[in-house]
């Protein structure tokens, strides 16, 4: 019997809003079991008050880190040390980093070198270098907006050029039949090779929902019950 994937979530409370915690836990919970949950910061700061109740509500361990030098946070260093400790214990399958700070880029690179998945959660303004250092990066604002629209039906939505390029390239690289249809699952796997790609960043709950809403693609069910997709525009 395959065990659940063991995921750790490390939160840079100095650089992340508690308003998006629910979305982060929901997404990360779909990728594995979040057995380790820690939030780092100087809890004497009034700015972190919003995190207080959430730590107990969601079983998150608050890690106190005083500012060693006035005006400079030592939170990042403490998070990196703990992440490396978790790595060397050898019982971790993936690491979630909730922060918009590019200082975590070397950490994400090192964790991935060890063969573990890294999931980043930050704002759209997060430096692209950190976004691309993660296996998958999630825009927390997009996740929140997607949650608000989850019960709405969208027949079509404006298509971003980047999204069309990613899915179009993935479709071209996939094995296609004589009618041009490719397996949607294969297209999705190839799209995920683009490190920052996630359907949730585009307001969808699944790849099939996303592609069905795009007039550039046509989706149909295969004889085996799977989904096929081809580009028509």
Ordered by where they begin, the domains of the chain are: 6-148 (3.40.50.1010), 161-231 (3.30.420.610)
Q: What is the pLDDT of residue 166?
A: 85
Confidence of residue 107 (pLDDT cuts 50, 70, 90): very high
pLDDT at residue 185, rounded to an integer = 85
Q: Which residues pair with 39 in a beta bridge?
A: 11, 62
Identify whether the C-beta of residue 39 lies closer than 8 Å to the C-beta of residue 13: yes
Element (H, E) at 8: strand 6-12
- Work out the number of other CB atoms within 10 angstroms of the CB of residue 210: 23
Q: What is the pLDDT of residue 147?
A: 55
Most confident of 36-50, 110-124, 214-228: 110-124
pLDDT of residue 82: 93
Could you list the beta-strand ranges (E) of 23-176: 33-41, 61-64, 94-98, 117-122, 136-139
Between 106 and 188, the higher pLDDT residue: 106
């Amino acid at each position: 019997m395959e065990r659940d994937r063991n995921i750790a979530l490390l939160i840079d409370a100095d650089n992340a809003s508690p308003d998006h915690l629910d979305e982060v836990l929901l997404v990360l919970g779909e990728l594995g079991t979040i057995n380790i949950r820690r939030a780092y910061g100087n809890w004497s700061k009034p700015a972190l008050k919003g995190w207080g109740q959430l730590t107990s509500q969601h079983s998150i361990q608050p890690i106190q880190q005083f500012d060693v030098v006035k005006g400079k946070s030592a939170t990042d260093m403490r998070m990196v040390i703990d992440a490396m400790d978790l790595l060397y214990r050898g019982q971790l399958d993936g690491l979630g980093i909730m922060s918009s700070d590019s200082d975590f880029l070397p950490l994400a690179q090192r964790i991935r070198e060890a063969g573990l998945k890294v999931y980043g959660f930050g704002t759209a303004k997060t430096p692209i270098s950190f976004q691309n250092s993660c296996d998958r990066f999630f825009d927390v604002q997009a996740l929140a907006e997607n949650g608000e629209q989850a019960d709405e039906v969208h027949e079509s939505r404006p298509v971003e050029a980047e999204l069309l390029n990613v899915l179009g390239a993935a479709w071209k690289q996939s094995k296609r039949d004589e009618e041009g249809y490719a397996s949607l699952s294969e297209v999705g796997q190839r799209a995920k090779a683009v490190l920052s790609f996630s359907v949730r960043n585009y307001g969808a709950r699944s790849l099939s929902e996303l592609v069905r809403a795009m007039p550039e693609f046509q989706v149909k069910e295969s004889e085996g019950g799977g989904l096929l997709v081809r580009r028509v525009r």
